[in-house]
């Protein structure tokens, strides 16, 4: 497969549109939205798979709310808004299943693209976090909807009413 070079910006405690508060303890690389927009379009055009954009739109997760020791907390936001280079694997879109149900909605599949970025491991190592993960760029997420009416009907049937 072909890897394509790109750049993004490191953002700490990113604002999440539609949420009441920021997600503290998170660090992402904000990426050009046209990359993931193209792949969402392609999946819909080629396979009729409609995806919702990720919460932070095009991004690569660096730190996901993990605990930081007091010794390294001073390093938090060290690279805030700095540009960063990475490579993403063109065309190799992978599907991951979520599996949790909430309010009658079964979250569907996440679609991601592999990313190479040694700087992510460097940042994580400075913060005392595990390194060597397989990093990815989230393209989007599909949803399987289960109607609340059908859900209630099934529960009544199971309880014998």
Among 144, 120, 143, smallest CA distance to 132 is for 120
Identify the pLDDT of residue 79: 99
pLDDT at 68: 95
Question: Which of the four pLDDT bands, split at 50, 70 and 90, describes residue 108?
Answer: confident
| Nearest residue to 54 (alpha-carbon basis) of 113, 123, 122 | 113
Q: Enter the tokens of residue 93.
A: 């879109």
Confidence band, pLDDT 50/70/90 cuts, at residue 15 = confident
Report the pLDDT averaged over residues 101-123: 83
0.85 exceeded by pTM: no
Residues 6+ apart with CB under 8 A from 3: 87, 88, 89, 90, 116
Q: Is the pLDDT of residue 104 over 80?
A: no
Extended beta strands in 13-156, E state: 26-31, 59-64, 83-97, 105-116, 136-145
Residue 131 has what pLDDT? Answer: 97
Question: What gap in Å lies between CA 55 and CA 36, rounded to an integer?
Answer: 13
């Amino acid at each position: 497969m072909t890897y394509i070079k790109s750049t993004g910006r490191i953002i700490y405690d990113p604002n999440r549109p539609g949420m009441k508060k920021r997600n503290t303890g998170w660090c992402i690389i904000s990426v050009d939205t046209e990359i993931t927009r193209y792949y969402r379009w392609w999946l819909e055009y080629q396979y009729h798979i409609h995806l919702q954009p990720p919460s932070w739109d095009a991004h690569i997760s660096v730190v996901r709310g993990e605990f930081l020791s007091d010794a390294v907390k001073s390093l938090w936001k060290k690279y805030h808004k700095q540009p960063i280079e990475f490579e993403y694997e063109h065309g190799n879109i992978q599907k991951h299943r979520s599996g949790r149900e909430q309010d009658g909605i079964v979250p569907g599949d996440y679609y991601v693209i592999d990313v190479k970025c040694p700087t992510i491991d460097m940042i994580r190592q400075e913060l005392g976090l595990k390194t060597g993960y397989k990093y990815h760029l989230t393209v989007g997420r599909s949803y399987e909807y289960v109607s609340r009416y059908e859900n209630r009907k099934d529960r009544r049937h199971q309880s014998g009413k």
